[in-house]
Structures are given as C-alpha cells and as structure tokens.
Structure 1
Amino acid sequence: MIGPRSRGSQLYLLHLLAVLVGLVLVVVGPWRAGIIVIGAAFVVGAFARFVMPVDHTGMLRVRGKAFDVFWMTTLGISLVVLAAVVPGQPT
C-alpha cells in the first residue's frame, strides 16, 4: 500500500488521527481533554499550513493559505477556550 505523497497529506492524516483520539476521549469520559486535543490539532494544523510550501500542502490545502490558517486557528483556539470556560458539573 502506498501512503500519501506530500507532507501536507501526511500532516492531514495525522491531524485526522488527533481529532479521532480527541473524539474517543470525549466519548469515553474526559471530554475536556478530548476537546483540548481536537483544538490543539487544529492549531498545529494551521501552523503547518502556514509554514508549508504550496507545492507540498496536499490535502491540507482547502482554500487560500490565509483562509485556511485563519479558520483553523480560530476553530482551534475557540475549542480550547470552550473547554476551559464551561463550568464543571457537580458530582
């Protein structure tokens, strides 16, 4: 089996794996940790999109560079802030 050819595609698959791990954490119980993992994956993906040359972006490229970086950063930071500000439930 041949894997992804570009670095962007490899990073995209790692990003999807990190989101999957975060979703599993949300389902299993420590939802805050899962949301933080998902948010961090988006921030790291935005940074990777920012520093990666255009010819190596692969599946990491959705629209223009500014659009991708802005929305991935916004989504990642929003998720981390959301996980931090939601009050804990009494047990």
Structure 2
Amino acid sequence: MTMTEDRRDVHDRRHRQSRFTQLPLAVVLLVVAVAALRIVQYHWREGAALIGAALLLAGVLRAVLPTERAGLLAIRGKVVDIVTYAGLAAAVLYVALTIIGGPFSSS
C-alpha cells in the first residue's frame, strides 16, 4: 500500500464516521426547535419544559455515547458535561413547572 492509498483510507474512515458524529446534537436541537415553536404559539411553559427535556436528553446522550460519537455535546470532561446538562435541565424544569400567574399566564 502506498502512502497516497493509506491517506485515502484514513480520509474515507474519517468521512464515514463524521457523517453521524453530530446526530446527537441534531436530535437535541430538534427538540429545542419544537420548544421554540411552542413558545412562539404562546405556550411558554410547555416550551420551557421541552427545553429542560432537551437539556436532560443532552445529558443522557453524553452519558451513554463515547466521547468520539458525542460530537458537539462533548464540551468538557464527561462528568462535567453530564452534571452541567442535568443541573441546567433541573433549573429550567423547576422554573417551567412552578411559576404561576404573571404576564404570561394562560387562561
């Protein structure tokens, strides 16, 4: 095998692997897009709860997937990412589920 063939082989493996590397982030962003749609439709509590669920999903995906397959969900170390995603999810869900009344209250 020549050097050029070896480089092509490495490039092909990287290209195949990189196609689906960002799939976990795409799934999380899809949930966030649905949440944004719900917020625009004046269902802000449902939208906020969906954002919390998206953060929780990001934490679960980060915990389950190896770092190479986590894509852009891998920001820091695995434990730091999981704790951060879970903490933010808990905070957003707490706010979304406990606030009552106010200017955004629905009838």
* TM band (smaller chain): 0.7 to 0.9
SS in 2 for 1:63: coil
Q: Matched residue pairs, number?
A: 88
Q: Which 4+ runs in 1 deviate beyond 4 A? A: none
CA displacement, residues 13-34 of structure 1 (integer Å, 9 cap, x when unaligned) = 1111111111121121111100
Confirm whether residue 51 of structure 1 aligns to residue 68 of structure 2: no
Deviation at 1:59, TM superposition (A): 1.6
Per the normalisation by structure 1, the TM-score is 0.85
Distance 1:90-1:22 versus aligned 2 partners, 3 A rule: closer
Confirm whether residue 85 of structure 1 aligns to residue 98 of structure 2: yes
Matches for 1:7-86 after TM superposition, within 5 Å: 9-86=22-99
Deviation at 1:55, TM superposition (A): 2.0
- Equivalent position amino acid for 1:17 in 2: L
- Equivalent position amino acid for 2:88 in 1: L
Higher normalized contact order (CA 8 Å, seq sep 6+, divided by chain length): 1
Query: Is the radius of gyration larger for structure 1 or structure 2?
Result: 2
* Cα-Cα RMSD: 1.9
Percent of aligned pairs with the same amino acid: 27
Distance in 2, matches of 1:81 and 1:31, equals 14
Confirm whether residue 5 of structure 1 aligns to residue 20 of structure 2: yes
- For structure 2, the 5+ residue unaligned runs are 1-15
